[in-house]
Amino acid sequence: MTNRELEILKEYIGNSVEIYDLITEYPIKAMSAVLDYNHISKKDLQVPEGWHWLYFLETPLQNELGSDGHKRRESFVPPISLPRRMYAGGSLTFLAPMTLGDKIKKVSTIKNIEPKVGSTGNLVFLTVEHSYFKGEKKLLIEIQNLVFREEKKSDENPKEVKNSSEKFHYEKSWRPTPEMLFRYSSLTFNTHRIHYDYPYATQEEGYKNIVIHGPLLATLILDLIKDVAKDEAKKLFSLTYRINSPVYIGGNIRVQGLKDEEQFKFWVKDSDGKKSLSSIAVFKD
């Protein structure tokens, strides 16, 4: 990347957009079905942690989509020339709940753009902050980390992550299927082809199989955290998470957690036993 290209990208730092959405019941009912919840009580007016991803959806026209299924990079998202995009992690800070019937404002701001060179070539890391408001009250702060990479090389192999065998205090197993990913893609209006197009995911982007959405993995961690918070008689304040490697459909994945003194750690292990996502949760009384 030339100095001039970097200067152009850096000009996007500070760019901000606002969108509004009304918190309605259907996305919550639909997501409950995705996670096999038997029912949802109408008394549960609050949006579960992580389910805000079902709202504030971009709706690009068909002719605005790139070859990977994402909206072409323009206006808000910097024109990063690297073609492959990966969700790398982020953080969520829960200040107050969203409830059914709320009209919420989401403010998204480009916070940082950082070029690097990795084992697969040039990389660009993009950090976006999303703040959610009800009136003047801030409800949620989200940091989203994205990484952009070069085209897949013919000799490029996915990074191997070693199996791990940590002790854990909490565990929940899931078996994500193509149908589950289809439903989640539909609920989040996500057309990234790595989540449903096997030939594209494997041949064009070099993955081993269909890739499970990063936010869905975080949602599965939050699902376990909900049970832990109830047992501990606490509320979740924040979750910081990092995706270490892709997680694929085709086997059972395990969401595990450990209370280490006053720190709570949670992670996702893929069907091969590799720790693919790691996180730290902070609770409050």
259-280: per-residue pLDDT in tens?
A: 987 789 999 999 999 999 999 9
Q: Which class would CATH give 3-284? A: alpha beta
Say how many Å lie between the first and final Cα of the chain, rounded: 48
Q: How far apart are CA 37 and CA 31, in angstroms?
A: 9
User: pTM (2 decimals)?
Assistant: 0.91
Amino acid (1-letter code) at residue 103:
K
Main-chain phi, psi angles of 188, to 5 degrees = -105, 5
150-181: per-residue pLDDT in tens?
A: 877 655 555 555 666 779 999 999 999 999 99
